[in-house]
Amino acid sequence: MRNFLYTLITFLVLTNVNAQVLSPVKWTTKIEKVSETEFNLIASGTIQEGWHVFSQFTPDGGSLPMVLNFKDIKGNYELVGKAKESPYQKVYSDVFEVDEYIFEDKVTVTQKVKITNPKTTKIKLNLEYQVCKEACINDSKDLVFNIPLVSSVVETTVSKDTIVELDSQFATTVDTSNTPTTIKQAEPKSIEPIKDEKSLWTIFFLAFLGGFAALLMPCIFPMIPMTVSFFTKQSKSKAQGIRNAIIYGLSIIAIYVILGSLITGIFGAEALNELSTSVAFNLIFFALLVIFALSFLGAFEIMLPSSWATKLDSKADKGGIIGIIFMALALAVVSFSCTGPIVGTLLVESASKGGIAPVVGMLGFSLAIALPFMLFAMFPGWLNSLPKSGGWLNTVKVSLGFLELAFAFKFLSNADLVLQKHLLERELFIAIWIAIFGAWALYLFGKYMLPHDYEKADKIGVGRLMMALVVTTFTFYMIPGLWGAPLKILSGLTPPIHYAESTNGFGSSNSNKSELPEHAHFGPHGIIAFEDYDLGLAYAKKVNKPVLLDFTGDACANCRKMEDNVWSDPAVLKILKNDVVLISLYCDRKIDLPKDKQYVSKTTGKEVVTIGNKWTDFQITRYKSNSQPLYVILDADGNDLSKPIAFTFDKQEYKKWLEDGISLYKK
């Protein structure tokens, strides 16, 4: 019964998707006057339940970001800064293997402008965005902001999709069902912020672990008994010693939290949200992590000026609360050669998350460092249980160096994905990680020494052996990834599977380009595919096969799910490879059409300027649908042989649909 209900609901949903042009987001606009020449242009979208829109800052490699195209800027007005958004929600896409930034229910985008031409009375905005549910839709909306000449207007008449506000105290809503539309004033509505609590807790937890790792560094671990002994011996009573140790720990926390706050304050929470997609920042982070890694591996020491530590030590000798605070500062400075790379890495990672993540990260890091000093001061007897300093501390330091080096290439990969240069594709990335973790395993087994090692170990401890086995196992786990294995443990760290030298894996027979017809390419699972409608039809006529018309998109998650879960079925794949000619029309391609091929759609009235616009307009005009994926069986002359079918996980249903269309072609 449950399967029957699921099938019925899926059928109804897909029937509805195929039967109409969907528009799941309704947009309203308003204007807020900032000064005589500056205004905030605000576009607010109400999103239908179950659908979601992607932020303009969503990372590359996933779904399409929102794009704001302001018209006729030159000589009329200037954009002041970048457009700001209401808080988005961060979710992980297991299809594209990246975090995606989405809006559900509502979205607000605000752009500040400065009028430079006093005759400017209208500002036009074209808003492009992708909205997804069971299907994905590449939609756009043309909005017009009327620049007010007076301070307030009670009621006015404007055309569809145009909303004006002349007083910032009121929001305006519009009924777009009729044209023209009368605007009515309404009470302002607040947008509930969506807090990415899971991400912040993850940052806190990782930073806390980083703090414990810093404790095991050679320049901090030996200071624990020394510092605790100082408090217990110099204090007049046990209670005073505990109080001083608590002040010392709180001072450590305050120092690092202030550091995180400064990072947030200098860059700004909004700017930090963009770091994950910024090529420049990702390259800078890559360089920083490589420097930190080399420092941990023993190439050099990252040191602050020794005069700083001397001055702080002299201040700490004064005693009292001020002296204790300076003791905490002295610890931060003296231990910088060990903690600097860890702190730097945490700030890099948390800064790329945006918002208050740097503050949360430094709170977790400093809490882990401060707790042992406070706890051992309260219970001095615990000091006897601490392991003695020795070579194992340097092993921890070197291990962190290998980890830093591996994660550095994640930021380099981010930059490459944004630029789509294909310089660090999946195979090369995995090969680099195999080399790094393989070298780490050999070090743990004691096969070679690094500059910080005083003597080669004739034997290794049980703990080091267990760590070596774990690292070795992980290294071997990554090797099949060179031939296309998904490596689910590394999901989100490696480049996506499709971002590779060969999506079919090394040595695949499908990678032989001599088998390709002219103008074709190998699509998913080695299926021969065309991206040009006319060329695909011509080839279908030549080989006397029906056409599978595939309305898809580079950033269409459900298209990838269909390809990975339905097209991969042996029975379905056999049909796709042997019995049809696949023509894939990408409705989200931003490649401009030649000027003489651009036009205004007779169906939607919108400008068709890109390849994606062209195929979307074709889909809407012919099939009254704007959602992807959508599949149709055609004959070689372009006539429909079947009703379109959309997203479905039912392999048998899809196979039967293909077979029915092919049988109609053969009649």
Q: Give the pLDDT band (50/70/90) at residue 227.
A: low
Q: CA torsion sign, 503 to 505 to 508 to 514?
A: positive
Three-state secondary structure of 330-367 = HHHHHCHHHHHHHHHHHHHHHHHHCCCHHHHHHHHHHH
Please determine, for residue 620, whether its predicted confidence score (pLDDT) is greater than 60.
Answer: yes
What pLDDT sits at residue 136? 80
CATH 2.60.40.1250 domain position(s) in the chain: 25-146
Preceding amide of 218 cis, omega within 30: no
232 vs 245: CA distance, rounded Å: 9
Spatial CA neighbour of 61 closest among 95, 91, 96, 108: 96
The answer to whether 186 touches 172, Cβ cutoff 8 Å, is: yes
What pLDDT sits at residue 271? 46
Q: Give me the phi and psi of 384, to 5 degrees please.
A: -65, -20
DSSP 8-state assignment for residue 497: T
Q: Give me the phi and psi of 606, to 5 degrees please.
A: -95, 155
228 vs 87: CA distance, rounded Å: 45
Task: Please give the full DSSP string across 518-551, using - where no structure is assigned.
Answer: TT-EE-GGG-EEES-HHHHHHHHHHHT--EEEEE
What pLDDT sits at residue 425? 87
CATH 3.40.30.10 domain position(s) in the chain: 520-666
Residue with the bigger pLDDT between 207 and 320: it is 207
What pLDDT sits at residue 663? 92
Q: Give the pLDDT band (50/70/90) at residue 354.
A: low
CATH 2.30.130.10 assigned to domain 25-146? The reply is no
- Interstrand relation of 630-634 and 547-552 (parallel, antiparallel or unpaired): antiparallel
Q: What is the SS3 assignment for 250?
A: helix
What pLDDT sits at residue 224? 63
Q: Residue 581 is which amino acid?
A: V
Which H or E run contains 124?
strand 122-132
Give the lowest-confidence range in 89-103, 440-454, 495-509, 522-536: 495-509
Fold that domain 520-666 belongs to in CATH: Glutaredoxin (3.40.30)
Q: What is the SS3 assignment for 368?
A: helix
165 vs 451: CA distance, rounded Å: 68
List, in sequence order, every residue forming a beta bridge with 79; answer none if it has no partner: 113
Q: Residue 461 is which amino acid?
A: G
Residues 169-206: tens digit of each pLDDT: 333 333 333 333 333 333 333 333 334 444 667 777 77
- Interstrand relation of 599-600 and 581-586 (parallel, antiparallel or unpaired): unpaired
Residue with the bigger pLDDT between 648 and 400: it is 648
Residues 302-314: tens digit of each pLDDT: 554 555 455 545 5
Give the lowest-confidence range in 118-132, 150-164, 221-235: 150-164
List, in sequence order, every residue forming a beta bridge with 106; answer none if it has no partner: 46
Residues 424-439: tens digit of each pLDDT: 888 999 999 999 999 9
Mean of pLDDT values over 80-108: 84
Q: Residue 524 is which amino acid?
A: P
624 vs 615: CA distance, rounded Å: 13
272 Cβ contact partners less than 8 Å away, ≥ 6 residues apart: 264, 351, 352, 353, 354, 355, 357, 358
